[in-house]
Chain A
Amino acid sequence: MTIQSCDLNASVVPMPVSNENSAASAHSKAQRVARWLVSPSVLVLLLWMIVPLSMTIYFSVLQYSLLYPGEHPFVGLENYEFFLTDEGFSAGMSNTLILVGAVLAITVVLGVAISVLINTPFPGRGIVRVMLISPFFIMPTVSALVWKNLLMHPVSGVFAWLAQVMGMEPVDWFAQYPLSAIILIVAWQWLPFAILLLMTAMQSLDKEQVEAAKLDGAGGWAIFRHITLPHLARPIAVVVMIETIFLLSVFAEIFTTTGGGPGYETTNLAYLIYSQALLQFDVGMASAGGLIAVVLANIVAFFLVRLIGKSLTEKH
């Protein structure tokens, strides 16, 4: 009814030109309003990016320790030099890369396998799906402690008991293979993310194409290799990049289980910078390390933003 009254108005107005003008001015007014609506978000994010980051850059060239108040003399790139040549850095760097690489490999391979497995309907699929994605919602400190104490404990853990049942020597995970233990925990937390995304992507797989391939006598492996895997290539790329962003800064799992030890064995870059800053109070060195972490993450982010930007323009 209201739309009809609109039409009536339009037909009464004799000059369509002026009508268009007022519409255009209303439009530009709306554009102005729109700009006001976006600006708070843009402003706070801009502040969030620029203020701390420029402070990090500034601190990184100062000799600045919270233990020695007073002057913070300019030292140029000395902090970077110390940070990069410190034995903690090479350990932290290689641990970071091993952690990211291993978790990616586990989550992508298992994620693909599981999402293919649960793609065809079977009794209780809904419950299975809920069970599979549940670990994602467990807070990192809880999953770290549950794994460390209830599962991986060398005497009373479930794994130790399983090893005993199978006649093997129980493994003291955090003493013998601390980094592998962390990798297992983090992979358990991130596997649901891979499953969630890949499972969604599997639903858009062209079923007719699969049927046609079957009729042509293609086996399960051939279908997987030539139809499923190419279809999953993009979602896998998305999983890899988003996980990488988060895995580069794994922190709580290390903080609650090993504290970076023994030695530097489970210290990643994020934990190393934390310990420089809040355990050794060396603001300058921690800032230099922080910037190195930012540069690393940016390399990944560059590709990710391009990938997402591409899908954005495809969609609209």
Chain B
Amino acid sequence: MIALSQKQRRVFSQIALTAAAWSVAFIIFFPILWMVLTSFKTELEAFATPPSLFFSPTLENYQEVFGRSDYMHYAWNSVVISMGATLLGMLLAVPAAYAMAFYETKRTQSTLLWMLSTKMLPPVGVLVPIYLLFKESGLLDTRTGLILIYTLINLPIMVWMIYTYFKEIPKDILEACRMDGATLGQEISRVLLPMCKGGLASTVLLSLILCWNEAFWSLNLTAANAAPLTALIASYSSPEGLFWAKLSAVSTLACAPILIFGWISQKQLVRGLSFGAVK
């Protein structure tokens, strides 16, 4: 038995820790990595056993995906719906969060908690009436319909996040503005918004991520006209056969922008996703 000095032992445990952490990260990241790799294979290589690791990458899947006009149609729906719902959500959430953070009343806390509780309503509980209401009012399979739904389901999270950012701004600064005779509009646009740019940006990102990936209402309320990318990819579930490379290419395209947004905003996500209960 070789006795190790303390220093040697520390080096070994550091190496073991690094190796363990990297292996775990590799295993968890592997499905995404594999999807991206498969998207650059031919359909034959994608289906091969043993899986081909060394292959000459091809862009033909991407060309084919872009060549089919319907991909752009779905992608455009995703963009319009996510941006529309985020914009509408911000328009509602910023004033509400402002009022709650700077003019706190007895009811503010319970209002906030009540808003959160609407988020906990399971969507299937209201699926039938929403479906029927949408059918009656012609909102079924429209982008407007999905924008409305997404705004409503994300509004509590947005109000909550912006509220916690506004709370961090010292009230004295706003008092000083008011003393100087700044109007409410000036106070918000010239002082408040510039001071919370980062917070508001991460709220926007989180909302975009949640809208882009939403897959209950988009699958149930849309068909050909307003279906976003989540629905396009779900349509790949039925046929079996040599289409994995194309599926991977579509999936990679659909996930890449959001993955990057997620990497940028990962630190702020905790605040929004845990409703401030974890710091």
Measuring CB to CB, which residues of chain A are less than 8 angstroms from any residue of chain B?
Answer: 2-3, 5-6, 26, 30-31, 33-35, 37-38, 40-42, 44-45, 48-49, 51-53, 55-56, 59, 114, 117-118, 120, 122-125, 127-151, 155-156, 158, 160-161, 164-165, 188, 191-193, 196-197, 200-201, 204, 234-235, 238, 242, 245, 248-249, 251-252, 255-257, 269-270, 273-274, 277-278, 283, 286-287, 289-291, 293-294, 296-298, 300-301, 304-305, 307-309, 311-313, 315-316
Contact = CB atoms under 8 A, between A and B. Distances in A.
Given A139-B229, A308-B116, A312-B113, A31 B105 contact: yes
Given A117-B21, A139-B233, A312 B276 contact: yes
State which size class the interface on B falls in. 35 or more
Contacts of A305: 113, 116-117, 120
B262 A134 contact: yes
Nearest to A244: B120
A45 B129 contact: no
Contacts of A146: 31-32, 34-35, 247-248, 251
A131 B159 CA distance: 29
Contacts of A48: 118, 152
B216 interface: yes
B31 A130 contact: no
Contact of B233 (A35, A141, A270, A286): A141
A245 B120 contact: yes
Given A59-B128, A150-B34, A290-B124, A311 B277 contact: yes
Contact of A130 (B123, B244, B263): B263
B201 interface: no
A6 B105 contact: no
A238 B279 CA distance: 11
Given A150-B31, A294-B125, A120 B270 contact: no
B127 interface: yes
Contacts of A140: 213, 215, 230
Given A145-B251, A293-B125, A255 B219 contact: yes
Contacts of A133: 262, 266
B25 interface: yes
B24 A114 contact: yes
B278 A304 contact: no
A185 B14 CA distance: 32
Contacts of A138: 32, 213, 255, 259
What 9 A-B pairs are tightest by C-beta distance, nearest first? A55-B129, A252-B215, A34-B103, A137-B262, A34-B99, A52-B126, A37-B95, A301-B120, A41-B96
B213 A137 contact: yes
B200 interface: no
B108 to A, nearest CB: 9
B276 A308 contact: yes
A286 B127 contact: yes
Contacts of B130: 52
Contacts of B50: 161, 164-165
Contacts of A34: 98-100, 102-103
Given A117-B20, A142-B255, A274-B220, A297 B126 contact: no
Nearest to B267: A200
Contacts of A300: 120
B171 interface: no
Nearest to B212: A139
Given A40-B95, A200-B279, A151 B124 contact: no
12 contacts: A34-B98, A34-B102, A41-B92, A124-B18, A138-B213, A139-B230, A142-B251, A146-B31, A156-B51, A196-B269, A257-B237, A290-B122
Contacts of A6: 176, 179-180
B216 A278 contact: no
A313 B131 CA distance: 39
Interface string B223-261: 000000111011011000000100110010011001101
B275 interface: yes
A37 B102 CA distance: 12
B132 interface: yes
A256 B127 contact: no
A26 B179 CA distance: 11
Contact of A311 (B47, B111, B176, B276): B276
A37 B96 contact: yes
Contacts of A145: 233-234, 236-237, 247, 251
Contacts of A44: 92, 151-152, 155
Interface in B70-122: 92-93, 95-96, 98-100, 102-103, 105, 109, 111-113, 115-122
Interface string B121-158: 11111111111110000000000000000011001100
**Which residue, A51, A133, A300, has most C-beta atoms of chain B within 10 A?**
A133
B1 to A, nearest CB: 20
